Structure 1
Amino acid sequence: VVTLIPNTVKKTFACPYHKLIHLSSDGLYRTSIEHEKDGGILSKSYFVLPPLMEWYYRKYHPEYITLPPYKAGFELSDNEAN
């Protein structure tokens, strides 16, 4: 499928608050490819706000979904911490 976009359309950047999060195969816990030996992970886009912004946003947007907790025994590497 080819989508043609006119040259007059302004180029915009991707939303900095949307992040691709890797989840366990059941979708309940955050994980990474390196930590899942069987390769059974799901990748899902989440709208992730900094903690203070999230607190205010959630007051008026009950549909906001927070990130799932990390899987037990999961330790962040330097790349995942950033």
Structure 2
Amino acid sequence: MLKVKQSKVVLPADILEAEGQSNFAEKVQAYMKRYDGYKVIAVENGLAICEVFERRETSGNQNKKGHHQRRTSGANG
């Protein structure tokens, strides 16, 4: 299951200096590759406004394991 939230990332000065240039978006995307699960939706006042996608694997694995155990005990009982 994915959980989505918003976050802001401060962009470095060298990237902000490229604002208004044709390669600005490319520079922002290249910088943001280090932030796994972040998708830039806007750049405002030196900040990359992002959607953050988090995987909640722990709870999903527990549910699957519990579900499997119930099916096994039902088949044996």
Does TM, scored on the shorter chain, surpass 0.5?
A: no
| TM score, norm. by length of structure 2 | 0.25
Largest Rg, 1 or 2: 2
| TM score, norm. by length of structure 1 | 0.24
Give the structure with the larger strand fraction: 2
Higher relative contact order (CA 8 A, sep 6+): 2
